[in-house]
Structure 1
Amino acid sequence: MRRTGLGLLLCLVIGGQVPAYAGAQACDPQAGYGLALEGAEPAYEVAALRADLAEFRAVVARTHPAPGLLFDQPALQRVAADIEAELHDGMTLRQAWLAMARLNPHFRDAHTGLRHPVAGYEADLAEGATGFPVEVFIDRAGGLRASATPGPGTALPPYARIVSINGHDVPTLLATLMPRMRGETVSVQRLVLAFNFPGYLWTVLGPQRAYCVGIEHEGRTRHLLFAGAAGEGPGSEAGRDAPPFGFSMPAEGVALLRVGSFHPGLKEAFATFLAESFAAIEANGAATLLLDIRDNPGGAHDTSDQLVAYLVDKPVPSASALLARITSGNREIAPQAETGSIVRVPFPEPIAPRPAGAAFKGEVYVLLSQDTYSQAIVFAATLRDAGIARLAGETTGGNANQTGQITLVPLPRTGLQALAPLYVIYRPNGDATMAGLRPDIAIPHDPLAPDRMVASLLELLGKRPNKGAE
């Protein structure tokens, strides 16, 4: 999608008004904010689109190890037929994705489906478009909000309600995008949309030079102008800029570790954080440890295993078995199996304790929410099934038995990326139920007041919060 940036921005700044928030200008939501890039978007013939639709389904069918276990097969057949009938000559990349991605929720697995058009989005960013600059989440009522840390330069308060973007009603935008999201449940689909919101927004609005964002606060709607962010936007799949870790002592003898990601790129930062945190735990004589992974979307086991290693004095399994699709790249797990076959094999590698240093011997609690996902669920199940920790909070939106080893396959005509896992990872206790990971102690989570769950758990444990603590 190579187009020269000659964009026109018509922004009408409303003069004479005090900006709603420091550093943000007021703007007219009906002004033009689209970026007109020279040259037409590439368009595709219907035969090419139908061929890619068929290949998308074929990639998933020959990769996923448990389609019969997870997929809504009747819905997939019905929706695929509807999509094929609606495809037509002249569709752009964004239009093709919006059509084909209607299959995504019927795979009932956030690790399976059609990824947003990353190459097209990044090409427009390279030509002068900007990504949506506000890190967001979707609240329990289905509304779009700025996160607790909306992003540098946005000047927004935490949890600000976003009601419009460049004159487009946010509920309408979400109604367009949500039926195209991957995930086992609505809560996971909301997580996927929020995590990659800049790219998904681009599929609907196209390239933008700036964003006039409608913010509802104290009964008023203010429209604020943001120049956007070049390159990867907040919440991108590359991970956040600042390591999402935190240490605190919310009560006498209680340590709280907030772990917001197990992204592989954070492995070294996480190792440093753990060393410093457990030194502080020892120095303060903490006998109770709270591990907060309520907003952790997952990552890699190499990262999360580092934390498990502080809690064990002998190797523990992180899974009981793998259900695996055999490929040329993983034949070593079942050397006698044919390529393309599906086999169940024992999980090969337990998590070892640290080479030096005693394991933490106190009580451990893991805080969960609907938004805990992927490797974070595997981590929590590992500690629960090994008898190391109790789980507190909410049942996860994702399954306790997660899929893993995600493969990306570009479709030959459009370049859209199909993704599917090679493994189902069965939790250590062997329970094969495909449902969320349930807590031992049920406590509701309010994303707008995250400290409440911590306070509730401390009360149940008979711990008096420190003055000024969470």
Structure 2
Amino acid sequence: MMPKLLTGLLVAVLSLTLTTVARATPRSDASPPATDTIGAAVIRADFEALYSGLRQAHYDLYVHTPQAEYDRLYQQTLASFDRPLSLFDIRIRFQRFVAAGRVAHANIAFPGEDFGTYRQAGGTAIPITVAIDDGHIYIEDNQSGIAGLDPGDEIVSLNGISASDWLTRLGRNISADTDYLNQALVELMFRPLLWLEAGSPERFRITLQKPDGRQVEVEIPALTMAETQTFADANPGTGTLSLDHSDRIARLMDGGIAYLRPGPFYNATPGADSFDATTFHAFIDEAFASFIAAGAGDVLIDLRQNPGGYDSFSNAMIAWFADQPFHFASDLRIKVSPQAVAENAERVAAGAGAGDDTSLRLAAAYATAQPGDVIHYDVPLIQPRPSGRYAGRVWVLVDRYSFSNAVNVAAVIQDYSFGRVLGEPTADLATTYGAMEHFTLPRTGITVGFPKGHIIRPNGTLKAAGVTPDILIPTPRVEGRDDPVLIAALRAIADNP
């Protein structure tokens, strides 16, 4: 179950995007309403524990940020804790420090409960969604009801601050290995991050650059969720494409191409064991059996906006068309630490998930290792289905929001030549620092995520990069509801007989 702990990157993202709120009153520190505070001495002690724990447990804390630079930031941040702060503010300050390491799977989850509570209580937010492309911010959807903000317009400045400065301010809260990944996550979290950095003024003043080069200034009000929904109900023809990451779809398209949207590679049924793949396996088996019966010569597997999950799910899907045994990764190197050993022991004590022996195998490996050792996890060899396999062509459609295990699925299919990859490069990485674990700070109770492993994609490359498609299909800045990327993917398949 190697990718079990790769899903941590998306947990924070989904918790934000599902509970988007903004503050009512502008504050310089964007902190929530007055609550109990924690003394400076306690904050400093837990900050020391934070850095000590990361140095001890992180697979390679200084891979992107040199130790001398990180040490200087540590001393500066430590000295800045000279007054009591709310737990909310402490979490944000600690996360900014962790994010300076630029490793996606080292993070402190955003305090989404505060965010969601405010929004549900009528808190306002900026009523636009954005697309971020190569360091530029564009209007994706205008939900304000105010004319003048058109999809595709570039944001030059917001409330007197340039778009590039906003990207820097918002991005400092995000753990990400690359600028591409950072900006993809900022795009997903634009409203809550703007709330974090700017509070929620009553109105937003936006300078736009139109496609013809003209610059115009528009003011829009901050709106509640109810107000935004009222606008959406009154304008059903507006808006952009929205894909549900939980959809499981199998159908035949025009031209005899089979379409498979497998959904997340975990059991998302409320209250179910997330490791229980029984229903997923039945869905995949029925889908491929129907594709074979229909004589489909091509299958398009749509992994756009897929949050990932566990390889016990995805391996069963790949086995339907794999023509040779395959490894999900060429190597998984794990750093042994007291933190990783302790969390694994908790899982063993609680009982491993259905079909998951990873925790038991790790426990056995840890028993003969010392803290600081790097061990090699034996990535299992997966066999193709012994008979009845799908023998047609396989295509995989990805985008910058294909995360975690979905990226690894695309890498396996590409590296073993099981099929061809379409779409835009993934923002999440195929060779990555992952296998995420957690430790808890002793005084504040803040939970810190860290990567205990280095996961090497099947082709063996050590380069920290996503999957680059064989056929590039850029995602439009404004993606219409007719799904232009899917249309282009079907056309590319038809044009490659």
TM-score scaled by length of structure 1: 0.70
> Distance in 1 between the 2:398 and 2:455 partners?
19
Task: Give the conservation status (yes or no) of the 8 Å contact 1:60–1:419.
Answer: no
> Quick check: 1:296 aligned with 2:306?
yes
> Distance in 1 between the 2:179 and 2:420 partners?
26
Bigger mean CA deviation after superposition, 47-56 or 312-321:
312-321
> Distance in 2 between the 1:323 and 1:104 partners?
22
Task: Give the conservation status (yes or no) of the 8 Å contact 1:144–1:170.
Answer: no
- Counterpart residue number, 2:322: 312
> Distance in 2 between the 1:368 and 1:415 partners?
37
Query: C-alpha displacement at 1:251, in angstroms?
Result: 4.4
Structure 1: gaps spanning 5 or more residues: 1-28, 151-156, 230-239, 466-470
Residue 419 (structure 2) aligned to one of 385, 389, 396:
389
Query: C-alpha displacement at 1:353, in angstroms?
Result: 4.3
Give the letter aligned to residue 265 of structure 1.
A
Task: Give the conservation status (yes or no) of the 8 Å contact 2:132–2:184.
Answer: no
> Quick check: 1:73 aligned with 2:67?
yes
Task: Give the conservation status (yes or no) of the 8 Å contact 2:252–2:259.
Answer: yes
> Quick check: 1:226 aligned with 2:224?
yes
> Distance in 1 between the 2:294 and 2:205 partners?
46
> Distance in 1 between the 2:195 and 2:372 partners?
36
Query: C-alpha displacement at 1:352, in angstroms?
Result: 4.4
Query: C-alpha displacement at 1:145, in angstroms?
Result: 5.9
- The aligned runs of 1:438-453 (5 Å cut-off) are 438-446=468-476, 448-449=478-479, 451-453=483-485
Tell me the SS of whatever aligns to 2:326: coil
- Counterpart residue number, 1:17: none
Task: Give the conservation status (yes or no) of the 8 Å contact 1:257–1:291.
Answer: yes
> Quick check: 1:184 aligned with 2:183?
no
Query: C-alpha displacement at 1:299, in angstroms?
Result: 2.6
Identity value in percent: 23
- Provide closer, same or farther for how the CA distance between residues 296 and 243 of structure 1 changes in structure 2, counting only shifts above 3 A: closer
> Quick check: 1:58 aligned with 2:82?
no
Tell me the SS of whatever aligns to 1:225: coil
Task: Give the conservation status (yes or no) of the 8 Å contact 1:160–1:217.
Answer: no
> Distance in 1 between the 2:461 and 2:72 partners?
32
Query: C-alpha displacement at 1:350, in angstroms?
Result: 3.0
- Provide closer, same or farther for how the CA distance between residues 390 and 39 of structure 1 changes in structure 2, counting only shifts above 3 A: closer
Tell me the SS of whatever aligns to 1:422: strand
Give the letter aligned to residue 252 of structure 1.
G
Residue 256 (structure 2) aligned to one of 240, 244, 253:
253
- Deviation digits for residues 300-324 of structure 1, max 9, x if unmatched? 3233334223223664210121110
- Counterpart residue number, 2:296: 286
Give the letter aligned to residue 40 of structure 2.
V
> Quick check: 1:139 aligned with 2:132?
yes
TM-score scaled by length of structure 2: 0.67
> Distance in 2 between the 1:377 and 1:102 partners?
26
- Counterpart residue number, 1:236: none
Tell me the SS of whatever aligns to 1:143: strand
Give the letter aligned to residue 378 of structure 2.
P
Q: Decide which structure has greater helix share.
A: 2
- Deviation digits for residues 217-253 of structure 1, max 9, x if unmatched? 9987654733469xxxxxxxxxx98723444545413
Query: C-alpha displacement at 1:87, in angstroms?
Result: 2.2
- The aligned runs of 1:316-465 (5 Å cut-off) are 316-326=326-336, 327-328=341-342, 329=344, 330-333=362-365, 335-347=367-379, 349-353=380-384, 358-446=388-476, 448-449=478-479, 451-463=483-495
Query: C-alpha displacement at 1:409, in angstroms?
Result: 2.2
> Distance in 2 between the 1:258 and 1:125 partners?
34
- Deviation digits for residues 79-116 of structure 1, max 9, x if unmatched? 22332232221222333234333334432221112322
Tell me the SS of whatever aligns to 1:344: strand
- Provide closer, same or farther for how the CA distance between residues 188 and 72 of structure 1 changes in structure 2, counting only shifts above 3 A: farther
Task: Give the conservation status (yes or no) of the 8 Å contact 2:403–2:426.
Answer: yes
> Distance in 2 between the 1:285 and 1:158 partners?
45
Query: C-alpha displacement at 1:178, in angstroms?
Result: 1.4
> Distance in 2 between the 1:311 and 1:83 partners?
52
> Distance in 1 between the 2:266 and 2:471 partners?
27
Q: Which has the higher contact order (CA 8 A, sep 6+)?
A: 2
- Counterpart residue number, 1:237: none
- Provide closer, same or farther for how the CA distance between residues 131 and 262 of structure 1 changes in structure 2, counting only shifts above 3 A: farther
Task: Give the conservation status (yes or no) of the 8 Å contact 1:62–1:340.
Answer: yes
Task: Give the conservation status (yes or no) of the 8 Å contact 1:297–1:375.
Answer: yes
Tell me the SS of whatever aligns to 2:312: helix
- Provide closer, same or farther for how the CA distance between residues 449 and 197 of structure 1 changes in structure 2, counting only shifts above 3 A: closer
> Quick check: 1:274 aligned with 2:284?
yes
Tell me the SS of whatever aligns to 1:391: strand
- Counterpart residue number, 2:39: 45
- Counterpart residue number, 1:9: none
- Provide closer, same or farther for how the CA distance between residues 246 and 117 of structure 1 changes in structure 2, counting only shifts above 3 A: same
Give the letter aligned to residue 268 of structure 2.
G
Give the letter aligned to residue 99 of structure 1.
R
- Provide closer, same or farther for how the CA distance between residues 222 and 80 of structure 1 changes in structure 2, counting only shifts above 3 A: same
- Counterpart residue number, 1:109: 103
Tell me the SS of whatever aligns to 2:327: coil
Task: Give the conservation status (yes or no) of the 8 Å contact 1:322–1:424.
Answer: yes
Query: C-alpha displacement at 1:283, in angstroms?
Result: 4.2
Task: Give the conservation status (yes or no) of the 8 Å contact 2:325–2:381.
Answer: yes
- Provide closer, same or farther for how the CA distance between residues 399 and 289 of structure 1 changes in structure 2, counting only shifts above 3 A: same
Give the letter aligned to residue 37 of structure 2.
A
- Deviation digits for residues 192-237 of structure 1, max 9, x if unmatched? 345556765664577x9x99899999987654733469xxxxxxxx
Superposed CA RMSD:
4.5
- Deviation digits for residues 130-155 of structure 1, max 9, x if unmatched? 6979896643254376689x9xxxxx
> Distance in 1 between the 2:38 and 2:310 partners?
37
Give the letter aligned to residue 297 of structure 2.
A
Tell me the SS of whatever aligns to 1:289: strand
Tell me the SS of whatever aligns to 2:381: coil
Query: C-alpha displacement at 1:182, in angstroms?
Result: 0.7
Aligned length: 412
- The aligned runs of 1:208-227 (5 Å cut-off) are 223=221, 225-227=223-225
- Provide closer, same or farther for how the CA distance between residues 92 and 271 of structure 1 changes in structure 2, counting only shifts above 3 A: same
